[in-house]
């Protein structure tokens, strides 16, 4: 049942309804545990053929807010999948499911109620799905963003890095008015190994998005992760993470960061030679835990591009 095609179907649903970026982490872990070769870049292939049909708060900033209960009332998951099934090539309709029937058979009686919450497949919010994997010299193994919750004027963003080695340090900077419009907030050492545990950046994202002068004029990049309720330029799952010597650990304050969501690129305007030089002076931080389960977890966990599973 758990095949690459089944995971494609799961991700098609996720990008069609603007679901959580955490889904990427979970399905990568599932793929690794089942021995499947399912690279992060495959999410973009799914997104390229899957239209964005449902925008749920806070991704939707229209005159009326839609919430997950509205999606349920409009037909829910089955209705979204039913719409996707009408476009050839989006879903793998012959994939087996836990019902004992194929995906196509499961959707024979799917019904969508109304056109507002779940749009028809020929009238989507966008032709490309709501999640994207970004690649570049800042994230050679990938990073994830809910692009369906990003306003059009933010699709290309360039700004100076403001670097913090924990969520608390970044949050304190915001509270004390030390973040300016145009800044790119870098929060590192919050990945699976660095955290350890890859906690959600919920407090920080809520704070930044709650300040009008910062909400649409700053970007946030982290090797940690977010809740499903993010909006705007919130890029997570940066891999390799800082704690394993990834490029995000080599960024300095003031380095210019370039985000191009149309091209799906995430780069720091620093040469490969300079990044390599900086890495020679980088020292691995001491583990936060020296004994117990978290110490063992820190030694064994992989980064987000591998689903943060244990080796």
Helices within the chain (DSSP H only): 4-16, 22-33, 42-49, 68-73, 76-84, 103-106, 167-175, 202-209, 212-215, 272-280, 292-300
Identify the residue whose tokens are 């990938």: 142
Convert 69-104 to b/e letters by CB count within 10 Å (16 or more is b): ebbeebbbeebbbbbbbeeeebbbbebeeeeeeebe
Q: Check if the beta carbon of residue 83 is closer than 8 Å to that of residue 117.
A: no
d(CA 224, CA 228): 13
What are the distances in angstroms from CA 153 to CA 132, 135, 149, 157, 158? 17, 21, 12, 9, 12
The values of phi and psi at residue 6, to 5°, are -65, -40
**Tally of CB atoms within 10 A around 210:** 10
Task: Catalytic residue, from 206, 227, 239, 271: name it.
Answer: 227
d(CA 74, CA 32): 34
Assigned token pair, 230: 């993010």
Assigned token pair, 135: 């690649």
The beta strand positions in 77-175, using DSSP E, are: 132-136, 139-145, 156-164
132 labelled catalytic: no
d(CA 93, CA 80): 14
d(CA 16, CA 19): 8
Residues designated as active site: 227
């Amino acid at each position: 049942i758990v095949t690459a095609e089944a995971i494609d179907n799961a991700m098609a649903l996720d990008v069609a309804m603007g679901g959580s970026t955490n889904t990427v982490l979970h399905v990568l872990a599932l793929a690794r545990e089942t021995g499947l070769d399912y690279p992060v870049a495959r999410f973009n292939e799914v997104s390229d053929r899957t239209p964005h049909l449902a925008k749920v708060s806070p991704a939707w900033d229209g005159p009326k807010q839609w919430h997950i209960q509205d999606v349920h009332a409009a037909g829910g998951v089955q209705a979204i999948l039913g719409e996707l099934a009408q476009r050839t090539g989006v879903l793998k309709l012959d994939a087996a499911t836990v019902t004992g029937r194929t995906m196509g058979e499961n959707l024979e009686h799917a019904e969508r109620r109304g056109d507002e919450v779940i749009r028809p497949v020929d009238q989507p919010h966008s032709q490309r799905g709501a999640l994207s994997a970004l690649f570049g010299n800042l994230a050679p193994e990938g990073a994830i963003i809910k692009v369906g919750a990003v306003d059009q004027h933010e699709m290309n963003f360039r700004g100076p890095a403001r670097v913090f080695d924990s969520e608390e340090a970044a949050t304190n900077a915001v509270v004390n008015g030390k973040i300016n419009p145009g800044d790119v907030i870098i929060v590192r050492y919050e990945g699976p190994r660095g955290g350890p545990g890859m906690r959600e950046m919920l407090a920080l994202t809520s704070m930044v998005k709650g300040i009008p002068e910062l909400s649409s004029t700053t970007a946030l990049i982290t090797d940690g992760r977010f809740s499903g309720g993010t909006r705007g330029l919130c890029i997570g799952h940066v891999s390799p993470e800082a704690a394993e010597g990834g490029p995000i650990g080599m960024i300095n304050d003031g380095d210019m960061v370039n985000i191009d969501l149309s091209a799906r690129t995430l780069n720091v305007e620093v040469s490969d030679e300079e990044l390599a030089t900086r890495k020679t002076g980088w020292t691995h931080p001491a583990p936060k835990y020296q004994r117990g389960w978290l110490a063992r977890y820190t030694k064994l966990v992989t980064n987000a591009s591998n689903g943060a599973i244990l080796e």
